[in-house]
Amino acid sequence: MNWWLIWIAVFLVLIFSISVISFRKIKTSDDYVMANFNLGFMPIVGTVIATVSGSSALIGAAGKGFEMGISYFITAMSFVSFTIIFVVTIGPIIRKLKLYTVPDLFVRRFGKAAALIPALIIAFLYMTPTFSMQLVGMGSLLTSIIDISITGAIIIGFLVSVVFTMMGGMYSVAWTDAVQTVIIFAGVILMFILGLNYTGGFNVLIEETSAHYFDFFSIGWKELLNWALVFGPFYIVWQTTWQRISAAKTAKVGTWGVTVGFILSGILQIFTILIGIMAIHTLASDTMPDNVYTDFMVEIFPASIGGLFMVSLLAALLTGATSFLLSGAINISKDIYQEWVNPDAEDDKILKVSRIAVLGMAVLGLMIALYITDVIEIYQIALSFTAVTLVAPVLAIMFWKRATKTGVIASMIGSIIISTIWRFSGEPFGIHEILPGLITSFILLILVSLFTGHSDDEEVTAYYHTYKEEKGSAVIESEESKSAEI
């Protein structure tokens, strides 16, 4: 009896039941893409953890633990710290503006022309390749437990992801994520405990593992800086976080939900990296990094129990896939279709376009998935090119009133060009392309803005300061009202 397959079948029946229930609740495009701005604390925590802990955080992190050891934890340190700082400072403003997407912020500040580049970058340069990364993970999982080709396994993952996303939207994604988070945590922690026992205990693991695997600085400061920059700045403009904050019942619920979700995700990655280090003693040295997590799981778990926790990995991959599809679909339906093609589109038309966008992105992602071999490699590219184009403009919109539309557009285009040249030049001096890209972005934005004027369609403001002023005025008015009553 193939217990691995039985558990996965039970899981699929459960999530499709949830998607059918969610499908009946969806009446508007806001229901579909934002859960009608009514998500509670636990669904937000769950959907953050389940989305962050996808192919990169489980399969990718275990593979990197197998290759480079504890140094890879620099990525979690980076994305957790950047996210918390971002959420505390900018999160309430995102919620107040009720933003659907990152480009939505550009539309409000600079007009729709400035938002087109961010919409294209997020939907096609980040969301679509990252969706394909989840398909590769699903393919790796299925081939480890059943006799099927990697191509067939990826296609199965594609079909499951598309049907689930098109039917349930944000309702099904958020609520299944909350349940899947429990399974993900239980699976990873139990796998860590069993793996530690399998290798003879922590003392044996330390003594029989090369010292550099437990030396955080073994890869050198330059590589640590590269990894930190690849994963950190990006999370300031990670659209998935923005949408969870906006979809929350209140600003407080959104801020705390995202913060707790990222802290727990960072803790989860510690266990996953250690699992990769344990696998060094069990798996062949030439094991593909993307197969480390699933191969080690099959090695140490009895199938009757392991099947349940194989589901934890499938849950992480599926929820990542659906979140990326849904998020990118909003860029296409609202930032591109509604802004440029049909500004007067009725809500039911936007809902229809959102579902069509999900299908289109999924097909493109499938094509990418059939040709890539390293999930971390594609994730690095998606993160770095998104960060270099969007971080400086977003910070300028929030904090610098003098920023102009011309400066922002020059910044985005210039940073893409420099990053591309740097990458194809072989990353001179061993520096990742994200650093020269970010420097270029900030310099161009500042210089061009100082030498150009504001356009007629700009809302000349710095939203962070405007929000603080409004909040301060509200407090003063409230105190004066109380004094008058007394």
Determine how many CB atoms are found less than 10 A away from the CB of residue 277: 24
CB of 454 within 8 A of CB of 110? no
Residue 352 identity (one-letter amino acid): K
- State yes or no: pLDDT of 446 exceeds 50: yes
pLDDT of residue 230: 85
**Nearest to 332, CA basis, from 309, 350, 305:** 350
Q: At what angle do helices 375-399 and 128-145 cross, to 10 degrees?
A: 150
pLDDT band at 311 (very low <50, low <70, confident <90, very high): confident
> pLDDT-based confidence at 5, cuts 50/70/90?
confident
Q: Encode 170-201: b = buried (16+ Cβ within 10 Å), e = exposed.
A: bbbbbbbbbbbbebbbebbebbbebbbebbee
Cβ proximity of 307 and 227 under 8 Å = no
Q: What number of residues does the chain have? A: 486
Higher pLDDT: 458 or 380? It is 458
Residues 6+ away with beta carbon under 8 Å from 319: 47, 50, 51, 54, 173, 176, 177, 180
Per the listing, tokens 């727990």 go with 264
pLDDT at 478 exceeding the cut of 50: no
372, with CB counted inside 10 A (0-12, 13-18, 19+), is middle
Domains of the chain, first to last: 3-376 (1.20.1730.10), 400-486 (no CATH)
The DSSP symbol for 214 reads: G
The whole-number pLDDT of residue 479 equals 38
pLDDT for the residue 204: 86
pLDDT of 236 > 50? The answer is yes
Give phi and psi for 446, each to the nearest 5: -70, -50
Q: What integer pLDDT is reported at residue 477 of this predicted model?
A: 43
Contacting residues for 232 by C-beta, under 8 A, at least 6 apart = 78, 79, 81, 82
